């Protein structure tokens, strides 16, 4: 017996831009109707409730905004 695993969406990159303002996107919303929207953290918070109503999946990478970079040794 095999188990099917749903493919993971590709990580958002600096090239992915908010559909509302053009800033770097940290949220990908796949719509129930088949489309895709990208949002910066600001617009994701502003429209979050409505987006979740119409989304089939939400990929939230806003945690990257508070991540601390690793220290480097000189």
Is 72 part of any domain?
no
Is 10 part of any domain?
no
Is 56 part of any domain?
yes
Confidence of residue 1 (pLDDT cuts 50, 70, 90): low
Q: Using one digit for the tens of pLDDT, what is the confidence trace for 13-57? A: 999 999 999 999 999 999 999 999 999 999 999 999 999 999 999
Let me know: does 14 contact 24? Beta carbons within 8 Å.
Answer: yes
Is 57 part of any domain?
yes
Is 37 part of any domain?
yes
pLDDT the model gives residue 68: 73
Is 8 part of any domain?
no
What whole-number distance in Å separates Cα of residue 44 and Cα of residue 6?
Answer: 24
Residue 73 Cα to chain centre, angstroms: 32
Q: How many domains are contained in the chain?
A: 1
Is 17 part of any domain?
no
Is 12 part of any domain?
no
Domain limits at 52?
27-63
pLDDT above 70 (res 67): no
């Amino acid at each position: 017996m095999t188990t099917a695993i749903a493919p993971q969406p590709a990580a958002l990159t600096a090239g992915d831009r908010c559909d509302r303002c053009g800033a770097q996107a940290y949220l990908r919303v796949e719509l129930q109707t088949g489309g895709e929207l990208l949002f910066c953290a600001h617009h994701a918070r502003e429209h979050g409730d409505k987006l979740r109503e119409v989304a089939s999946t939400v990929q939230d990478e806003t945690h990257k905004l508070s991540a601390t970079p690793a220290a480097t040794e000189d």
